[in-house]
Structure 1
Amino acid sequence: MSDFFAGNSLVNMYAKCAFSEVSRSGTVSWSSMIGGRAQHGHGKNALLLFDEMLRDGVLPNHVTLVSVLCACNHAGPVTEAKKYFEMMEESFGIQPSQEHHACMIDVLGRAGKLDEAMDLVNKMPFEANASIWGALLGAVRIHKNVDLGQLAAEMLLTLEPEKSSTHVLLAKVYASVGSWENVAKVRRLMKDSKVKKELGMSWIEVKDKIYMFIVGDRSHSRSKEIYAKLKELGVLMAKAGYVPMIEIDLHDVEQKEKELLPAHHSEKLTVAFALIETPPGAPIRVKKNLRICLDCHTAFKFICKIVSWEIIVRDINRFHHFSDGSCTCGDYR
């Protein structure tokens, strides 16, 4: 289980099929399946499974409820999330923890209910931890609330000053509203604090060998073919209506130059390599050490439809299954 690929393969396999083999399913089995489905983006399915669990007379534990609230984020029902959150103590005797609050704040924040999310932060019976401020900052990035973003970032920087992700998220909030002066300030703060942004990398296993790529990577022996494939895909994607997602890029440069910046991200290079190396029809399974970027997520929805190929990306947060022009995460990143 210490092997990364073997461990993820087992999680993937169990999440899809092992439950039917469990003759007497207890809380752990139910929770594993609910969590597995939520992680793979099947939020509605996970919630249906939770309802089935309750009908079977199996009581959830705190882990089950974390998965349920995460599933609500995928499925989008804020009302459902509120119901389950309130049921925790009333029906199951489970006191909501920091993790449950973080999930609920994420649900509210992503739905644009930032005032409600902040109200929940203020009403918590404990001090907000990094997970809670991180969930709020992630929501702020989507809805471009600079003032709230600054507050969440300040709290995160106090709790976890060494983490580069906080600086990057705050910079993206500023970039999303065109505040390049503040983006520069965040970069200077990172430099002065000697905080380095983690290098994004993606990798894939093909014929028992691991191939790893970083942004703009040209070290592979088949680089010419890889970049030719990306160019070919770019033309086909443009004809299909793809427009580079550049509004959150952190570089204050011209429009055409901005469009080129995400074109050679590590996950795109990995998928292009897989398309010229993987047998037709075999799913492309990519791993990434950071969260998949918005542009790559959008591009893969086009690519999977153009080439009729299933693409599965496991980023730091969850699995993304791209097929026939859509992703199982429902554009939840």
Structure 2
Amino acid sequence: MLDEGVSPNHITMTSVLSACNHAGLVDEAKRYFDSMKEMFGIDRTEEHYACMIDLLGRAGKLEDAMELVNSMPFQPNAAVWGALLGASRVHKDPELARMAAEKLFILEPEKSGTHVLLANTYASAGMWDEVSNVRKLMKENKVRKEPAMSWVEMKDKVHTFVVGDKSHPRTQDIYRKLDELGDLMSKAGYDRREKELLLSHHSERLAVAFALISTPAGAPIRVKKNLRICRDCHVAIKFISQIVSREIIVRDINRFHHFKDGTCSCGDYW
């Protein structure tokens, strides 16, 4: 843009920061964020702060993220607190998760995702009493969790799966395939924890298993999901793509994930 004599605006900078975010380019994002006013005369907006806080959180720099939140010239919005809550879940910081969730309960009381992420963070920390309290709060406030669903299209027919689904006509074959993948993981040297992740029956893993038994060897697999793919499923599908030598494309609510040879196109930032 600069070479063509076109000056960037606040939307341009949001796009640049978002690109750095999804690529995990922390230093580059900081450089653009810090120089916006000086170099381009662009005032930082809530969107710019949200992108930076999300990036710092994903990178595990939770203290830096909180410092930036505290330095904001306006009240943090739901995007900011949501980014912190998500980062707290990934990096296992239940105290920060609680603080972010309390803000979101005020800003977006109807969103079930806040309760789910908070409960998952507590569960990862072994804080089962707190998990129970979150579920009780959801019941009291009549907050309903949106069910996770995944779809795969096969021969002009859409096959839908939910967690633990056993309604599909090929249920036995699907679960047998997951067991087979678990055995292959053991032979490949993956540890018990990694194997347990694979054998969990989340909707996207059931969809992938069904696609594996319904398509020719080597054919790419395409799955859609209505919510964000969870970290455990992301890890598991990376393993599956390597074990079976398949390309697996998962379209979740945020982006495309292209799994190949044990890696994902998102670089584990999403």
TM-score (norm 2): 0.92
Question: Equivalent residue of 1:136, what SS?
Answer: helix
Q: Deviations over 1:216-248 (max 9, x none)?
A: 1122222222122111112112222334669xx
The answer on 1:330 being equivalent to 2:267 is yes
Q: CA deviation at 1:71?
A: 2.3
The letter for the 2-side match of 1:292 is I
1:109-258 counterparts in 2 under 5 A? 109-243=57-191
2:227 to 290, 313, 325: 290
Q: CA deviation at 1:93?
A: 2.8
Runs of 4+ in 1 over 6 A off after TM superposition: none
Identity value in percent: 67
Aligned mates of 2:259, 2:198 — CA distance in 1: 23
**In the alignment, is the contact (CA less than 8 A) between 1:245 and 1:294 conserved in 2?**
no
Partner of 2:53: 105
Question: Equivalent residue of 2:116, what SS?
Answer: helix
Q: CA deviation at 1:115?
A: 2.3
Aligned mates of 2:261, 2:90 — CA distance in 1: 25
Aligned mates of 2:242, 2:80 — CA distance in 1: 36
Question: Equivalent residue of 1:312, what SS?
Answer: strand
Q: CA deviation at 1:154?
A: 0.5
Q: Provide the aligned C-alpha RMSD in A.
A: 2.1
The letter for the 2-side match of 1:195 is V
Size of the aligned set, in residue pairs, is 270
Partner of 1:304: 241
Partner of 2:211: 274
Change (3 A) 1:57 1:239: farther
Q: Deviations over 1:173-204 (max 9, x none)?
A: 21222111111111110111111111010001
Aligned mates of 1:287, 1:193 — CA distance in 2: 30
Aligned mates of 2:20, 2:48 — CA distance in 1: 12
Aligned mates of 1:84, 1:262 — CA distance in 2: 42
**In the alignment, is the contact (CA less than 8 A) between 2:178 and 2:199 conserved in 1?**
no
Partner of 1:41: none
The letter for the 2-side match of 1:320 is H
Aligned mates of 2:101, 2:10 — CA distance in 1: 28
Q: CA deviation at 1:55?
A: 3.7
Partner of 1:313: 250
Aligned mates of 2:159, 2:90 — CA distance in 1: 32
**In the alignment, is the contact (CA less than 8 A) between 2:178 and 2:198 conserved in 1?**
no
Q: CA deviation at 1:164?
A: 0.8
2:37 to 86, 89, 92: 89
Aligned mates of 1:332, 1:197 — CA distance in 2: 25
The answer for unaligned runs of 5 or more in structure 2 is: none
The letter for the 2-side match of 1:156 is L
Partner of 2:14: 66
Change (3 A) 1:277 1:121: same
Aligned mates of 1:75, 1:59 — CA distance in 2: 24
**In the alignment, is the contact (CA less than 8 A) between 1:286 and 1:312 conserved in 2?**
yes
**In the alignment, is the contact (CA less than 8 A) between 2:179 and 2:199 conserved in 1?**
no
Q: CA deviation at 1:88?
A: 2.4
Change (3 A) 1:261 1:319: closer
The answer for unaligned runs of 5 or more in structure 1 is: 1-52, 247-255
TM-score (norm 1): 0.75
The letter for the 2-side match of 1:327 is C
Q: CA deviation at 1:271?
A: 0.6
Q: CA deviation at 1:134?
A: 0.4
